[in-house]
Amino acid sequence: MKFAVIGLGSFGFNVAKTLFEKGAEVMALDKNKERLKDLQGFASHAVSMDAAVKENLEALGIQDMDVVVVSLGHDMEASILTVLYLAELGVERIIAKALTEDHAKILEAVGATEIIFPEKDMAVRTALKLNNPNILEYLPLGPNIGIQEIAPSEKFIGKSLKELDIRRRYGVQIIAVRELIPEETTFVPGADFVIKDSDVLVIMGDDKSLAKFSANK
């Protein structure tokens, strides 16, 4: 797949770098030439330009990208115009970083297909982990729905999923188990899967059900 990342602040830089390290073709764009220097060796193409000018995007062939990530920091006007022009040029998947709920609504209205709130999402994940040390990771999927990694309760150890009947009792679904010893992942484990103390449960559900499950000791 071909990706473009517009705006190379901390978030955009790390998105571009990670995609490139995973073998993707990545075009990185920023008006700040110094930021492009920092990304040297971590992008297929690095271009210094103003993305809030439609002609610049079109000349660059941005419409040929499979995914474009727009991360223009606190320049809300530039991010809105960039998303608008990307949509007009026919980019099918536009992922835009939003600063506020109102900013997100405008980005969606002008053509963003996905909105992300990096600071908000990280704050939620951090708060959940602080509130319950058993929670190892949390990924929001939508309003009040998420995926959570959690260390199993002591009373789960040595029991099968059939015995625990987690879906009926807690309203969550175990979609995977990461086994640390030996290191492997079992996707959609069967009813006879027995939980070990070295396992990490990957569960999905609404936030209320996830909280109920993670509070279980």
Tokens of 52: 């809030």
- Non-local CB neighbours of 183 within 8 Å, separated by 6+ positions: none
The torsion region of residue 34 among left (phi > 0), alpha (psi -120 to 50) and beta comes to alpha
The string of pLDDT tens digits covering residues 153-191 is: 888 999 999 999 998 999 999 999 988 767 788 898 999
Q: What is the pLDDT of residue 56?
A: 94
Asked whether the predicted pLDDT for residue 217 surpasses 60, the reply is no
Q: What is the pLDDT of residue 103?
A: 92
Compute the mean pLDDT over every residue in the chain, rounded to the nearest whole number.
87
Domain 120-214 is of which CATH architecture? Answer: 2-Layer Sandwich (3.30)
Domains of the chain: which residue ranges? 2-116, 120-214
Report residue 43: phi and psi, to 5°.
-155, 150
Q: What is the pLDDT of residue 69?
A: 95
Nearest in space to 127 (alpha carbons), one of 103, 146, 114: 146
The string of pLDDT tens digits covering residues 2-56 is: 999 999 988 899 899 999 988 999 999 999 888 888 888 888 889 999 999 999 9
Tokens of 45: 């193409």
Residues 78 and 99: their CA atoms lie apart, in Å, by: 13
The string of pLDDT tens digits covering residues 49-87 is: 999 999 999 999 999 999 999 999 788 999 999 999 999
Tokens of 25: 């073709």
Q: Exposed, middle or buried, 70 (CB in 10 Å: 0-12/13-18/19+)?
A: buried
Was domain 2-116 assigned CATH 3.10.580.10?
no
* Residue 150 near residue 163, CB atoms below 8 Å: no
* Residue 66 near residue 86, CB atoms below 8 Å: no
Nearest in space to 200 (alpha carbons), one of 189, 211, 215: 189
Output the CA angle 87-145-128, nearest 5 degrees.
110
Residues 76 and 12: their CA atoms lie apart, in Å, by: 15
Query: Which amino acid makes up residue 199?
Result: D
Q: What is the pLDDT of residue 10?
A: 87
Asked whether the predicted pLDDT for residue 150 surpasses 90, the reply is no
Asked whether the predicted pLDDT for residue 147 surpasses 80, the reply is yes
Q: What is the pLDDT of residue 128?
A: 63
Tokens of 188: 């959609």
Query: Which amino acid makes up residue 160?
Result: S
b or e along 164-173 (b: 16 or more beta carbons within 10 Å of the residue's beta carbon)? bebeeebebe
Return the higher-pLDDT residue of 20 and 122: 20
